[in-house]
Chain A
C-alpha cells in the first residue's frame, strides 16, 4: 500500500523536484563547510541561512497549496499554524538555554524571571525534551486546525466566510500572544537561543544541518502531498473544490475530507515554523499578523496554485525578490508586493508554473494534432483545454 502510494505520488516533475531538493540538502552544506572561504564555489553561511529560511517558507506555501489549490479552502490564517510550530520549537530552545540566561535561572526563561514568576507554567513542562517539543510542533497546530475546522466545516462555513474567520483566528492569536500573562514572552517573543540538541545554534555546521533538514522536510512533504492529491482521496478533494454540493450529494463526507486536508496542512505549516525559528533566531507575535498569512497566499498564487511545485517556486521567487528589493529600494517593496497581488490575480491566475504547464500542454496537443494531420490528412479538432 505504501509502495503504491509512493509510486503514484512520483510523477516526473515531482521526482525531479525531490531529486533537486535532495541534491541541495547534500551539496549546499558540503560547499559551505568543506570549501575554503575564498574558493569560487564556497557558499557563505548567511546565504545558507537565508535559503534555509526560504525553504521553510516554501514548505508553508506548499501546505497552503494543499488546502487552497486542491480543496478550495482559502485559509488566511496559515501563518498562525506556522507561528505555533515556531513557538513550540522556540520553547524547546528557551529551555535549552538553562542557566546561561542573563538572570542565570536554571529553570525559568529570562522573561519569566523578569515578570517575577516563581514557577514554570504547566504548559512549559516537557519542552526540555526534544522529542516532546518535536511532537508538539505537529500536535498543537494540528489540534487547533482540527478543532477549528471541525466547527467550521461541520456548519458549512465556506468561501470568503471561511477566509475571514481564519483571518479572525490568527488575529485573535496575535492579540493573545502579545499578552505578557500568556507566558510566551509577550511582545518580545522568544529569542537569545543558545543551542539545539547540544549544538551551538550560531555554528556553521548547525546552520548547514538546519538547511539540510529544511530541504529534506520539504522533499518529504512534497512526496506526501503529492501522494495525497494523486490518490483516489485527492481526486475527490479536487471534485469537492470544483463542485462541493455535487460531491456531497454523491455520498462523500465532504466535511471530513476537508478537515483531514486542513489538519495535515496545518501540521506541515507547524513543521515549517519549527525549522524557521532556529534559523532566524527569534519568534514573536508579529508572525501572527494577518498580513503574513495573506503574503503566503500570494507566494502560492505567484507560483501557481494546485501545482505543488508552483508554491515552492513562488515562495522562493517572491522572498528572493523581497530580499533584493528591500535592500535596494526599501520604500518601494510594498508597492511591488501590492502590484504583484493585483497583477497576478488579473493576468496570471494560474501562476508561473500553471501558465507554463498550460502552454506546454497546448504545444504538445498542437504537435500531436499536426502529427495526426500529417499521418491521416484529416484536421482533428484541438484537444479541449
Chain B
C-alpha cells in the first residue's frame, strides 16, 4: 500500500512543480509541522489530520518522513526537519521550503515518536491526501492504484475523497474502488450487497478476482449475490472475448482479402494460375522498404508519408513485373493451365532468389508511421491502429477494383474478353492488350497488398510463400470469377480461423480450416458464389 502511494506521490511531485502556496500558507504549515515536536503520541492523530486537511502537496513528503521515522525536532528551537541518515550526523531539510538546512549532530535533535497507530493515521492521511489532490491526473492515478491493489485500510480515505470528488471519470473509479475496498472491510452485509451490485454493473476483468476472493470470506446471505455477480461478469467477458475474436478474424480476413484480391483478377477473371502471386506481394513489401530507406536517409520529415509514397510505386513496380511476365511467358501458355502453373512457379523461384541475392536472406526492417502505431480501447476490445487501417485499406482496394470492373470502359472490355474472347475480338477489342493489362492490374494490386502487409509481417524473401496457398483457398472457396465471393470468402475464413484457434491451437486450427475447405469443395466444386451459365465450362 505504502509503496503505491509513494509512486503516486512521486508523480504528484513531478506534476505540481509550481509552488502555489503563498507565504502565509507556508507559515501556517510550518506551525503545524512544528507542533509535532512537542506532541504526545495520543495527540498525534489530531495533528496529522490537521496537516492533511491543508491539502497542500508539501505535506506529503512530511507525512512520509513521519511514517518512516525520519522526522526530527531541533532541541534548541523546536524546529522540525526532514532528515537523512549520515552516520553520527543527520542531513536536515526544511519541511516547508524543501531547502537544505545543513547538518546537525544526532544529540542535538529529538526524534518525533511514532508507533503503529501513528503509522496507520499517516497512511490514511496520505491516501486521502493524494485522492484529494487538486490535480485531476494525480487523483485519477491514486484511484487506479487503490483499485489495482485494494486494501481495507484505504476505505475511509476513498469515502472521504468520493464525497469531495466532482470529476465524473475519477468519481466512477472511486466508486469502484470504494466497492472493492468495502468488500474487504468489516462493514455490514447490506452495504456489501450494494458494493457487489455496483461491481457487477461495472464488470470488467479486474472485478473477477476481487469478487472471487470476497466469496471466500463472505457470509451465507451474501454468497448467492456474489456468485450471481461473478456469473454475469463472466458472461459479459465471454461476449467481449467473442467480439475480440471477431475483430481478430476481420483483421486476418482483411489480410487474406488483400493477398487474394489480385489473385481474384488473375486467377478468378483470367483463369491464369499465377504461382508467383505471392512474390508480387513480396516485391510490394520490398518497395516499401526501399522507400522508407530513402526517406530515412534523405527526408526524415516525410517518414509518415512513406506508405502513401510506396503505394503507387509498388503498384507500378509489380504491375510492370506482371506485364513483363504476361508478355514474356504466360501469353504463350494460354489454354494450358497446368503448364502456366509450372512456369509461374519457376518465375516465383527466380524472383525470390533475386531478392535474396540483392537484399540478403534476412528480414528487413519496415517501420510503422506514427499514425499506424498504438492501440485504443473500445468497450472491452483492444483495437490496434495498424490492423484497423489495413481493414479499411483492404475494403477500399476492393471497392476501387469493383468500380474499375463494373463502371469503366477498361473493366467492360476485361469482362467482355473473359466472357467471350472471340466475340470481344470481333467487336474490335484488342484482346492480347487487355490480357496484358488485366494481368498487370492483378499483379499491381498484389504489390499494394505487399505495402500493407509489410506493416504487420516480416519483410523477407519468403514473405509471399506464406500467402500463396491461403489466397488460392480464398479464391476457390469464394468462387472463381466473383469478387464478392472473394470478399465473403476472405472474411469468413479469417473469422473461422480465429474462432477455431482457442479450441484447437493456431496450427491445428489452420489444418482444420484447410480440411474444411477441401470438404467444402467436394460439396460445391465451384465455390461459394459459383458462376452460372455458359461461362462455367469455358
Contact = CB atoms under 8 A, between A and B. Distances in A.
A290 to B, nearest CB: 7
A172 B522 CA distance: 17
Interface string A150-190: 01101111011101110111011001101100000000000
Given A154-B522, A155-B523, A346 B329 contact: yes
Interface string B326-366: 00010011001111111101111110111011000000000
Nearest to B526: A161
A301 B514 CA distance: 28
B522 A152 contact: yes
A336 to B, nearest CB: 9
A337 B273 contact: no
B476 interface: yes
A331 interface: yes
B332 A346 contact: yes
Size band of the interface chain B makes with A: 35 or more
B507 interface: yes
Main secondary structure of the interface of B (DSSP, over half): helix
Interface in A297-331: 297-298, 301, 331
B353 A151 contact: no
Contacts of B511: 172, 175-176
Given A335-B353, A338-B353, A172 B514 contact: yes
Interface string A283-299: 00000001000100110
B473 interface: yes
Contacts of A121: none
Contact of B347 (A294, A338, A349): A338
Most chain B CB atoms below 10 A, which of A152, A154, A160: A160
A171 B348 CA distance: 18
A157 B522 contact: yes
A157 B525 contact: yes
A172 B515 contact: yes
Interface string B296-339: 00000000000000000000000000000000010011001111
Q: Per DSSP, are chain A's interface residues mostly helix, strand or loop, or mixed?
A: helix
A341 interface: yes
A339 interface: yes
Contact of A341 (B349, B476, B508): B349
B519 A345 contact: no
Contact of B345 (A160, A169, A341): A341
Interface in B508-522: 508, 510-511, 514-515, 517-519, 521-522
A152 B525 CA distance: 9
Contacts of B338: 74, 159-160, 163
B472 interface: yes
B341 A160 contact: yes
Contact of A164 (B329, B476, B510, B522): B476
A178 B346 contact: no
B469 interface: yes
Interface of A: 74, 76, 148, 151-152, 154-157, 159-161, 163-165, 167-169, 171-172, 175-176, 178-179, 290, 294, 297-298, 301, 331-332, 334-335, 337-342, 344-346, 349
Given A157-B522, A341-B345, 15 more contacts: A161-B521, A164-B273, A168-B469, A169-B518, A171-B514, A172-B515, A175-B510, A179-B507, A294-B275, A301-B342, A331-B353, A338-B348, A339-B350, A342-B346, A345-B333
Interchain residue pairs A-B with the least CB separation, the first 8: A341-B346, A338-B349, A338-B350, A334-B353, A338-B346, A172-B514, A345-B343, A345-B339
26 contacts: A148-B518, A156-B525, A160-B338, A167-B469, A167-B472, A168-B472, A168-B473, A168-B514, A168-B518, A172-B511, A172-B514, A178-B507, A179-B508, A294-B345, A331-B357, A334-B353, A338-B345, A338-B346, A338-B350, A339-B350, A342-B343, A342-B346, A342-B350, A345-B333, A345-B343, A349-B339
